[in-house]
Amino acid sequence: MSREPVRWGAAALREDGPPSNGAVPSNEPLRDRPGAPARSVPSLPVREVYAALNSSPRGLTPPEATARQARYGLNELPRVSRGHVWRRLVAQFTDLFAVVLIVSSAITFLAYALEQPRDPATLQLALAILGVVLLNAGIGFAQEYSAERTAESLQAMVPHTCRVLRSGDARDLPARELVPGDVVLLEAGDAVSADCRLVEAHEVAVNNAALTGESDAVARVPGPVPTGPPLEARNLVFMGTDVIAGTGKAVVCSTGTATEFGRIFRLTAAAPRQKTPLQRQVAAMARRVAGVALATGAVLFAVRAPGGQPFVDTFVFSLGVMVALVPEGLPATLSVSLAIGVRRMARRHALVKQLLAVEALGSTSVVCTDKTGTLTQAEMTVVQLWVNGVPHSVAGVGYAPVGEVSDAGPVRELLRTAALCSNARLVPPTGRDGWRVLGDTTEGALLVAAMKADLDPAAEESRTPRVAEHPFDSVRKLMSTVHRDLDGSCLAYVKGAPLELLARCDAVDREGAREPLTDVCRAEITAAADGMAGQGLRVLAVARRRVDSPHPTLGDTESGLTFLGLAGMYDPPRPEVRDAVDACRRAGIRIVMVTGDHPLTAEAVARRVGIVRGRAPSVVTGTQLDALDEGGLDALLASSTELLLCRVSPEHKMRVVTALQRLGEVVAVTGDGANDAPALKHADIGVAMGASGTDVAREAAVMVLLDDSFASITTAVGLGRSVYRNIRKFLIYLFSHNIAELVPILAATFAGFPLVPITAVQILAIDLGSDVLPALALGAEPMERDVMDSPPRPRRERLFSTAVMGRILFLGGIQALGVCAVFFWHIHASGLPYADFTKSDPVYREAITMVQAGIVVSQFFNSLAVRTDRQSVFRAGLLTNPWLLAAGCFGIGLMAAISYAPPLQTIFNTAPLAAADWAVLAAFGALLLAAEEARKWLLRRRGTPLEGETR
């Protein structure tokens, strides 16, 4: 069963009334509902539970379930509201930038009101600043809203199903379709989707942390308990909690908001969204730049105030420059870029639950991966059996029970035992789907093999019904079931990893006779198991014994066993994995295979998919890991390039992840089982399987693979790297033009020129007009082909590294030099002394138009230059990001309008430029590109990569 924290709706066991929907207070069957099973459910004996909830051991019929759904509504909780829309909008005006801008705008309005005569330019500036505030708030609000919607739609893509009995038929249904009275099947790793009363339980333990905060495992039993607070009833399991051990069957008592989880959910405020380190770095940088802006404003005021200019003029001017230099749209551009990354990953089957993962993915240096399902297709087929020293092959592929198996008695007995000791179910073909397995694929393969031998598992089960079970767990590596034999006695059937099982056998079956298991015999069986494993097969051993009671202890069930034989199953590798493994090699990412399987099986599969190429990979078992202290483990992990960890349990996985992180690695780890959750949480990127993983693993991971494939991890890493590169591109692009805006202002001030070379309104037109779209287009640059050709970015590398800062200064410096040159060239060409210039002077208007156009045109070339770090842009292809070209053309078009359209000329105090002026600016832009090309050429010649890149 699954948990979906955001979108549960309302439903409860109710005899009448409309379906509840979040807003309607729901009734609470386990509490006070009059006339309902309510409080009495936990105290009822099992057989009365069904009657009390109008259900039966075969579950509800589909029409009854539909009727109940109409009556009680879907099993969902209402959407979390992050506060009223207006409150969220107001919040946009309360961050530091917004407050600075609002105060600035207010002061400018005040200045306009006080100045004599009033200058329309002051009013324009005040309005422009206000416009910036509104625009910024609008972008922020829209971005937050869309991020929320993205998160919700991604959540909805993660499958949340539970196994339900309807008319006796087990089927996987979306958790939201559960209704009171439904009979659900639970097993370790499931998240519980509704409040339920257990009616059968085999060693069930749950984690009620979501409700109680206590993360210890608590045992659950099916029998009646005294009436009391629902959370204390040991036969109830609750929505939002996890089954961490055992298997069981339970009847749904309440759903949606009527559940205990729903009650708490209504009281819990949504957690605030955390900023990622990258967002924090950018915000810190933006604050620093804002500080520089503030200081510049103050310096300008101090220098200009004594110069005889009107006080208000100087003040408004300094304020305008300050506002213009604040990087207003930056945080929003960053979030949009991260969100684009998340969407791209989702399209490639990798759902990222936290933005944090997008950036961590880019620096992943080790991937610890499972084998079955991730590297292989998880389509097990039993291909070989080994009984009494004789190998038997099994024909047929996939789950279709068509093929041939020896009909020898001992072979049939092996398969019958294995099939009875399984919980999986085979589903016949429907529509376009072929034969499918519900449940564990290893067990599915055993059922198929049994059916190929003409055995009917259902008939066998009714002949010798199961009375008890010790579920499989990956530490014991065994599973056992107890069955009542025809004569009333009890038999235990056990299957599991050969070594573990053999250690619990003391006899071997020879055509029905029990013979002692000699050392020779043991060696023969081990050699046979190794032989199969060496071919890449997963090997299971099967055994049985008579037991005295229908409910023997684990120790009694799994000791003194009689060995029956071995089953070897083939699981073909996923075809796409080989290329993905190659990509990881090129990208300097180590792959460590972590599997519970046999070392020989692991090595054979690792060779097939290319993880192992050398002659002697390090193959280490869980027992060997246990013998290593921390130092030994570190040495092992640091020294082995090809490492396979076999026969390990999830606890080992956790230890290895911690050790790798200690060695400075950024670790991605895959997991599917409930007890993989700690390792998934601890890793830098926990990756859960969307198709086959348990709900608990999906909950603990930050990334969910919809197709379970290793190749999707590699793609996500590539996309993560590309997002990081793109962010760096637009930061260089945006911050370099700040220099081009600032330097001419400082130069004019210190040269004693009485006016500014570019006005605040012009700067705002660049920052919020011509620069926004190219920055977004850079943030959305397609993934470069060579993104996986370089080693991972070091964990501690800062976004604003020396190299990045150097590049900002280089590009910004060239731009600044250019615009200063065109400005003073215009001013000096007129021959007028500085003091004679006024705001309305045509030469001055032309000069400031040249400065603004100079920045816009050079930014166009700059946007092309920043696309590559070392490679020539001409080699990378000038036309490969058409959005960027379109955005650049839009910016130049806007600038032309500002230069030529009379109303805009009035607002911006600009003048029409001549064709020759544009030609000068274009030539100057081309010079910037040429200088960048020369710098890249030098870098390539020296072979120094920038931030670990090959370009």
705 contacts ligand ATP (rule: CB under 6 A):
no
* 372, 714, 770, 910: residue in contact with ligand ATP (rule CB under 6 A): 372
538 contacts ligand ATP (rule: CB under 6 A):
yes
Nearer to ligand ATP, 182 or 443 (CB): 443
Contact track, ligand ATP, 585-624, x by CB under 6 A:
----------xxxx--------------------------
Which is it for strands 561-570 and 505-510: parallel, antiparallel or unpaired?
Answer: parallel
Nearer to ligand ATP, 538 or 545 (CB): 538
**CB 713 → ligand ATP: shortest distance, Å?**
15
Nearer to ligand ATP, 595 or 868 (CB): 595
441 contacts ligand ATP (rule: CB under 6 A):
no
Amino acid at 300: L
- In whole angstroms, give the CA distance from residue 802 to residue 745: 26
Which is it for strands 643-646 and 618-621: parallel, antiparallel or unpaired?
Answer: parallel
**CB 696 → ligand ATP: shortest distance, Å?**
15
Nearer to ligand ATP, 157 or 503 (CB): 503
Contact 743, 756 (CB under 8 A): no
* 440, 469, 846, 932: residue in contact with ligand ATP (rule CB under 6 A): 440
Query: Under rule CB under 6 A, how many of the chain's residues touch ligand ATP?
Result: 20
* Contacts for 833-838: CB closer than 8 Å, 24+ residues apart: 834/751, 834/752, 834/753, 834/754, 835/754, 837/753, 837/754, 837/755, 838/755
Contact 331, 286 (CB under 8 A): yes
Choices 268-276, 338-346, 491-499, 731-739; region in contact with ligand ATP by CB under 6 A: 491-499
Nearer to ligand ATP, 196 or 424 (CB): 424
- In whole angstroms, give the CA distance from residue 313 to residue 756: 12
- In whole angstroms, give the CA distance from residue 351 to residue 716: 9
CB neighbour class for 283 (10 Å; exposed up to 12, middle 13-18, buried from 19):
middle
- In whole angstroms, give the CA distance from residue 78 to residue 211: 18
540 contacts ligand ATP (rule: CB under 6 A):
yes
| Residue showing the smallest CB distance to ligand ATP in the complex | 596
574 contacts ligand ATP (rule: CB under 6 A):
no
Which is it for strands 366-369 and 590-594: parallel, antiparallel or unpaired?
Answer: parallel
* 26, 442, 670, 759: residue in contact with ligand ATP (rule CB under 6 A): 442
**CB 639 → ligand ATP: shortest distance, Å?**
23
Which is it for strands 505-510 and 381-387: parallel, antiparallel or unpaired?
Answer: unpaired
> Among residues 190, 370, 597, 672, which one is catalytic?
370
Choices 273-281, 319-327, 440-448, 728-736; region in contact with ligand ATP by CB under 6 A: 440-448
59 contacts ligand ATP (rule: CB under 6 A):
no
- In whole angstroms, give the CA distance from residue 442 to residue 846: 78
Cis peptide leading into 833, omega within 30 of 0? no
Instruction: List the interface residues with ligand ATP, window 914-943 (CB under 6 A).
Output: none
* 495, 728, 729, 951: residue in contact with ligand ATP (rule CB under 6 A): 495
Length in residues, the chain: 951
Nearer to ligand ATP, 248 or 818 (CB): 248
**CB 541 → ligand ATP: shortest distance, Å?**
8
* 320, 403, 496, 774: residue in contact with ligand ATP (rule CB under 6 A): 496
180 contacts ligand ATP (rule: CB under 6 A):
no
Nearer to ligand ATP, 8 or 472 (CB): 472
**CB 479 → ligand ATP: shortest distance, Å?**
4
Torsion of CA 845, 847, 848, 849, to 10 degrees: 80
**CB 369 → ligand ATP: shortest distance, Å?**
8
- In whole angstroms, give the CA distance from residue 949 to residue 728: 13
Residue 44 backbone class (left: φ over 0; alpha: ψ -120 to 50; beta: rest) = beta
**CB 443 → ligand ATP: shortest distance, Å?**
5
Contact 611, 388 (CB under 8 A): no
- In whole angstroms, give the CA distance from residue 578 to residue 605: 11
3-state SS, 48-77, equals HHHHHCCCCCCCECHHHHHHHHHHHCCCCC
- In whole angstroms, give the CA distance from residue 263 to residue 78: 12
Nearer to ligand ATP, 592 or 703 (CB): 592
**CB 254 → ligand ATP: shortest distance, Å?**
32
Instruction: List the interface residues with ligand ATP, window 447-486 (CB under 6 A).
Output: 472, 474, 477-479
**CB 296 → ligand ATP: shortest distance, Å?**
60
Tokens of 317: 């001017």
DSSP string, 152-217: HHHHHHS--EEEEEETTEEEEEEGGG--TT-EEEEETTPBP-SEEEEEEEEEEEEE-HHHHS--SE
Token pair 């700067």 is found at: 763
Contact 739, 813 (CB under 8 A): yes
**CB 598 → ligand ATP: shortest distance, Å?**
6
Nearer to ligand ATP, 538 or 807 (CB): 538
259 contacts ligand ATP (rule: CB under 6 A):
no
Phi, psi torsion values for 515, nearest 5 degrees = -120, 150
* 187, 195, 443, 932: residue in contact with ligand ATP (rule CB under 6 A): 443
Nearer to ligand ATP, 442 or 722 (CB): 442
Nearer to ligand ATP, 556 or 651 (CB): 651
379 contacts ligand ATP (rule: CB under 6 A):
no
**CB 651 → ligand ATP: shortest distance, Å?**
12
Nearer to ligand ATP, 606 or 787 (CB): 606
Contact 911, 904 (CB under 8 A): no
353 contacts ligand ATP (rule: CB under 6 A):
no
- 370 as an active site residue: the answer is yes
Choices 489-497, 738-746, 767-775, 776-784; region in contact with ligand ATP by CB under 6 A: 489-497
DSSP state of 399: T
Choices 324-332, 430-438, 490-498, 681-689; region in contact with ligand ATP by CB under 6 A: 490-498
CA distances for 122 relative to 111, 319, 908, angstroms: 8, 11, 12
**CB 372 → ligand ATP: shortest distance, Å?**
3
- In whole angstroms, give the CA distance from residue 179 to residue 253: 8
- Which chain residues interact with ligand ATP by CB under 6 A? 370-372, 440, 442-443, 472, 474, 477-479, 495-497, 538, 540, 595-598
Instruction: Name the residues annotated as catalytic.
Output: 370
